[in-house]
Structure 1
Amino acid sequence: MLSTTQRTEIRKGAHKAVTETQTLYDIIDESLVAHIAIGDNEQPFVIPMLAWRVADKVYIHGANNSRLMRNLKKGVSTCLTFTLFDGWVLARSAFHHSAHYRSAVVLGHFTAIEDSGEKDRLLNHFIEQIAPGRTDEVRLSNQKELDATMLLEIPLTEASVKVSNGKVKDDLSDMQQPVFAGYLPYRTVVGPLVAEEDSIHSSTPDYSNAYPQRWHHRS
């Protein structure tokens, strides 16, 4: 179960709050993009970053000279948001149109991974997450590349999750409106692979097992 703190208590739309830790993990794993907030000289910024989860921590990486990464390495307070948009809710009135979505908010502080071996392992974990088996085929990062990369982690100890998947909610007075009411689902489709023109490979790899319900299948 997710721990509840004053900062993570969901007050608006509290009925959409989800407390299962696995739901938090699933949203992060499917999203792979975190919008990360920082304040720089009293100017707020929200930056989208690739992010991945290993156990109960989230990782991001970037260049050592990145302003975002340098600020986060100092241990400043930050907020990460993950959002998956699942579709529109089409009501009989304009006011009651809504959306289906899954979202997560993570609060805390980042710390840096300094050990090169651990850094290499965690970066390779990300590659394996998006393309299983690929680290057995590609040239792995050398020491110069690892030294040029900053890797940060944040624990998932303070987080909230919200899932909106309810039915159409209309006023009784609108129920006889002669208009379609229902849902317009959005689905993310992954693949098929598109090779570079100068790619030298004996066969096309199969990464479909990383995206079981979202992998492209020709009809």
Structure 2
Amino acid sequence: MHFILQLTSEKDVNNRQSFLFTKRLIDIIGSIVGLIGLSPIMVWAAYKIKQEENGSPVFFIQERVGKNGKTFKMYKFRSMCMDAEQKLIELIDQNEVEGAMFKIKEDPRVTKIGKKLRKTSIDELPQLWNVLKGEMSLIGPRPSLPREFELYDEYDKQRLLVKPGCSGLWQVSGRNEIHFKGMVDLDIKYIKNQSILEDTKIIIKTILIITKPNGA
């Protein structure tokens, strides 16, 4: 049973202008530094993806639902086979997560290099471009798929009051053991208590998870 955390209104979330300005400034600086500093790793990832499946696209571009329900194109390094979306229909009954989210631990659609990219979160690095464009933030709720959003109730929709993030409270809280409603609870908890200090703590935890993968 999840705990109810009802936000007062969208106005309450967006009324902290100094915080939002600082957060956006950090997003811009962080994404630029990340795109430049991590470019050798991204070039290596692109090469490995091409090497495994010659002629295949390097990036996986997918529509996601962002702040206030606005959709955008999210970028990732492709970690699944070319027909992953078609094969999803065959796997949907194997979903291991309750609620509006699909996840199985041993997804047969993941490629050999894709497993390495996911384990180290390298597949997520192209999202820094989404951050620079202002569609995402470094820290925030996981961006929803349109098919997931269609199943949201009013409580779930509260997580869309802020920009989705590359990482967030759910991602650093042992996400494999947390069901959908638990994820929503954590997202709303983050939104109610968001601060630069909280974002900094999540960034540090994210770096620790990436450098010492523990299956989260």
TM-score exceeds 0.5: no
TM (norm. structure 2) is: 0.20
Structure holding more strand per residue:
1
TM (norm. structure 1) is: 0.20
Structure holding more helix per residue:
2
